Amino acid sequence: MSDTNTATKSPAPSRAIAFSVRDAGTLIGLLIIFGIFAVLAPDFLTSRNLINILQQSSINACLALGMTLVIISGGIDLSVGPTAAVSAVITATLLVSGVPVPIALVGGLVIGALCGLVNGLLIAYAGLQPFIVTLGTLSTYRAVALIYTGGNPVLGVPQSFRALFNGSVAGIPNSVVMVAIVAVLAWVLLRKTPLGEYLMAVGGNEEAAYVAGVPIALTKIAAYVISGVLAALASMILIGRLGAAEPILGNLWELDAIAASAIGGASLMGGKGSVAGTLLGAIILGSMRNGLTLMNVQAFYQLLATGLIILVAMMIDRVTRGRG
Amino acid sequence: MNVSRLSFEGITKEFPGVKALSSVSFEIAPGEIHALLGENGAGKSTLLKILSGVYRPTAGDVRVDGVAQAFRNPDDARRAGIAMIHQELQQVPNLTVAQNMFLGNSITTLGGLVVKRREQERRAAEVLSMIDPGIDPSQPISSLRVAQRQVVEIARALLNKARIVAMDEPTSSLTPAEFDRLADIIRGLSASGVAVIYVSHKLDEVFSVCQRASVMRDGQLVGIADLASTRPDQVVAMMVGRELANEQHQSFRTEEVTMSLSGVSTQRIRNVSFDLHRGEVLGIAGLVGAGRSEVLRAIGGVDRITSGTVTLRGKPLSISRPRDAINAGIGFLPEERKREGIIPGRSVTSNVALASLPAFSRGGIIQHSRVRKTAETLLQRVNLRPFLLDRPIRLFSGGNQQKAIIARWLAAGSKFLLFDEPTRGIDIGAKSEIYRLIEQLAKEGHSVIVVSSELPEIIRLSDRVLIMRDGAVAAELARHELNEETIVAHAVGTASGKSGREEQFNV
């Protein structure tokens, strides 16, 4: 009822600044983690290891960028892991049967897009809850991958394909370069295109967005399709690295992706999220794992640390942002 | 008994950078019904929050029956006999009436493990029987109408033996008949010695229930009025700090017909036909539920049209979703801005541009500098100071949000503006500004439809008024025929010209 009457009374940071304050917070968190590991693990702060961290984070960052768009739209995509698996086994099969690399690559991305499209259609037109739809497709897509391969890995991914993902440009691994390009595109999408505005609007207040003429269904579908394509891309980075596609790959990827988005400031209520924050979130998770491994900490404790980082990040978020 | 039931003594509240209240003092006697008035942002809510223990004052005392109180939290305030009844009722819909009344205070047995539901229901029934015996304590809260849920809240206050009951906009969603009931209950509270603080924007209600009023402006108490010897316009002048010019209706209606409805029906309206002219402000009046808003929602593409046609400048228009209407130059401004109008977390600029982003884009990229310039120009036109436009729109007042939505449709090039309750939730000072804007739009050649429950508003704005009853147009009144009695008579179906029941109008 009586909020401050006019905007003039209490000066507050502008939206653009407020956003970067949140991102700056994530960055500070990352720097603190870096600082701690720099002291505890002597090899941590070498340029080689830092590049390592980026490479290890690239798959999750790729997924998390798509996840962030979905979360901003007010949804969630639990099916990214199995989507990646379906796309991986089909891409690998195409490659093994001699299909040229570019075609196999596009084919794999199209498979990812189709998986996302199914999610989007069920959510936008059948009016089902995103959580439930993608929980259902989580199992369905995994089953597809398992049935398609009979449960066996697809081996023998050709060197030409692997080189594409394992090479490097000026010392930076190709996978990192690719994800960086994806991030720039995602940033442009979110900040500079009508679709980005629509994602924010649909997640912020769907009814108002509808009355204002925003194409709700298309916006949601676009988010899931992008998420599917990025899941497919992430799977290719992995099979490029491994040289084989397992139908069980991507297990629990969705949780890491959601964690990166959330640490980066995406609100699961929708309408809020940032590309820079998501990248930082993914790197935070990646450097935790990397640093703890360097310190020879048992995997159990790595899991514990990851869990705590997420909870601490959310608590800091809560306290600094106040209520709501 | 000379001791006041409640007294505020020099209450000051500072937030970082803002002095929300400065040295507010007034007293309320036992059994007094005291209005707390002021525009949005005047400090009423802050004061109520101090009374209910949500905030602690920076300086000053709250005294209950002469005893200074230091509330650390809302629970302390409740124990001191203070009950708050919020505008948006804080109840758990799935629980029963009795469970809600005893929420946080359950009657238990076996050391707190088991709730004695029977006992709770019996005691709830006891209290309810005094004010509204029609409410069954065992039914779920969600099955009650808002008015009844409010009664439950009052019963809860009685149950807690409240000595002071503060009501924040209690009637914002009540019909006048329900208000009358509520007024009786409030008078009953007062007769039993409870002091009532009544916050409302509706002056007619304040004058009919309250004895005195404290008027606040900019965090200060500007005066205490004895309502028996004060006129409403004097109170308004105190609230806004200036005399509202007694504005006259201005007409810019031309003979050119720009929109025609012929036999338009939806699930909620039947066979609605009318012509709308260039420069005209067409009012739509009627009881709540008569289908007024639904006419706008049909034209705006929000509700599906089942039969009939909408014709724009001679061309039939097919509308099946809001985008179709928007492309045809129709802008719908919904009653519930928070729910259907604004994207709360986005900036004012984003909210203004939302409906016309493709037009602001080149090669798929939004040209933000152009968006900004257009938004600034438009917001200047609608009198919204063009700075801080990057701040989320939820931080702005209702009036400013409404202006931003007007700017949204101007940006989209709308020629038809459909206002559903244009000043709902907007304070008195900003109201007349919205009125002038609507006139300005008409003057510029827009065609405007205004749906309103407030008859003075309809009469102030409209060149012509349609009156809806049971989903159909019951009457059409020309400007010179407009008066409150006639409109009400048509709305309730006693169109002999005599004033009917004034139910559901805020006259």
Interface touch B397/A10, C-beta < 8 Å = no
Residue B500 has pLDDT above 50, yes or no: no
How confident is the model over A72-97, as pLDDT tens digits? Answer: 999 999 999 999 999 999 999 999 99
The span from the CA of B406 to the CA of B419, in Å, is: 9
pLDDT tops 60 at residue A17:
no
Place of tokens 């505008």: B87
Residue B427 shares a structural domain with residue B284: yes
Question: Within this chain, do residues B404 and B422 fall inside the same structural domain, yes or no?
Answer: no
Q: What is the domain range of residue B386? A: 344-412
One domain for residues B258 and B288:
yes
B346–A1 C-beta distance less than 8 A = no
Q: Are strands A244-245 and A154-155 parallel, antiparallel or unpaired?
A: antiparallel
Q: What confidence score (pLDDT) does residue B180 get?
A: 85
In a domain, B247, yes or no: no
Q: Assess if residue B271 is contained within a domain.
A: yes
Percentage of chain B modeled with pLDDT above 90: 50
Interface touch B354/A201, C-beta < 8 Å: yes
d(CA A98, CA B280) in angstroms, rounded, equals: 71
Does one domain contain both B419 and B407?
Answer: no
- pLDDT, tens digit, 9 for 90 and up, residues A108-131: 999 999 999 999 999 999 989 999
Question: SS in 3 state form for B421-448?
Answer: CCCCCCCHHHHHHHHHHHHHHHHCCCEE
Say what the ipTM of the complex is. Answer: 0.86
Which domains occur in chain A, in start order? 43-321 (1.10.3470)
Q: Among all residues of chain B, which has the CA nearest to that of A267?
A: B345
User: Which residue of B351, B356, B357, B371 is the best one to mutate when testing the A interface, meaning the one whose CB has the most A CBs within 10 A?
Assistant: B357
> B483 or A160: whose pLDDT is higher?
A160
Asked whether residue B289 is assigned to any structural domain, the reply reads yes
pLDDT digit string, tens, across residues B3-41: 889 999 999 998 776 778 989 999 999 999 999 998 766
Chain A partners within 8 Å of B368 (Cβ): 192
Q: Is the domain of B145 the same as that of B284?
A: no
Average pLDDT of the residues in A249-264: 95
Final residue in a domain of this structure, among B364, B394, B412: B412
Q: Is residue B236 part of a domain?
A: yes
Query: Could you tell me if B422 and B407 lie in one domain?
Result: no
| Residue B408 to residue A212, Cβ atoms within 8 A | yes
Based on the fold, state whether residues B399 and B420 are members of the same structural domain.
no
Do the chains contact at B397 and A5, CB–CB below 8 Å?
Answer: yes
pLDDT digits (tens, 9 = 90+) for B168-205: 888 766 777 788 888 988 999 899 899 999 998 778 88
Q: What's the rounded Cα separation, in Å, for the pair A272 and A266?
A: 5
B91 Cα distance to chain centroid: 20
Q: Is residue B507 part of a domain?
A: no
Report residue A120 as tokens: 């989007």
| B178 and B140 fall within a common domain | yes
Q: What is the spatial distance between Cα B16 and Cα A103, in angstroms, rounded to a whole number?
A: 61
For the cut 60, the answer to whether the pLDDT of residue B406 exceeds it is yes
* B396 and B430 together in one domain: no
* B506 found inside a domain: no
**Of B183, B205, B240, which residue is a domain's last?**
B240
B167 φ/ψ angles, rounded to the nearest 5 degrees: -115, 120
What is the enclosing helix (H) or strand (E) of B215?
strand B212-217
Shared domain check, B139 and B21: yes
Instruction: Tell whether the model's pLDDT for residue B283 goes beyond 90.
Output: yes
**A6 in contact with B at a CB cutoff of 8 Å?**
yes
Q: Is residue B17 part of a domain?
A: yes
* Pairwise CA distance, residues A160 & A157, whole Å: 9
Instruction: Check: CB of residue B375 under 8 Å from CB of residue B348.
Output: yes
Q: In whole angstroms, give the CA distance from residue A202 to residue B343.
A: 8
- For residue B124, the domain's CATH number is 3.40.50.300
B402 found inside a domain: yes
Does B148 lie in the same domain as B176?
A: yes
Total domains, chain B: 3
**Residue B106: per-residue pLDDT:** 81
Convert the pLDDT of each residue in B129-171 to its tens digit. 888 888 899 999 888 887 888 888 888 888 888 999 999 888 7
- Determine the distance in angstroms separating the CA of A118 from the nearest CA of chain B, rounded to an integer: 24
* pLDDT tens profile A19-31: 568 888 889 999 9
- Tens of pLDDT, residues B284-330: 998 878 899 999 999 999 999 999 999 999 899 999 999 999 999 99
Write down which residue in B371, B389, B412 finishes a domain. B412
Contact B189, B154 (CB under 8 A): yes
A185-222 confidence digits (pLDDT tens): 999 999 999 999 999 999 999 999 999 999 999 999 99
Q: Based on the fold, state whether residues B197 and B289 are members of the same structural domain.
A: no
Q: Which of A194, A200, A207 is nearest residue B339 as measured by Cβ atoms?
A: A207
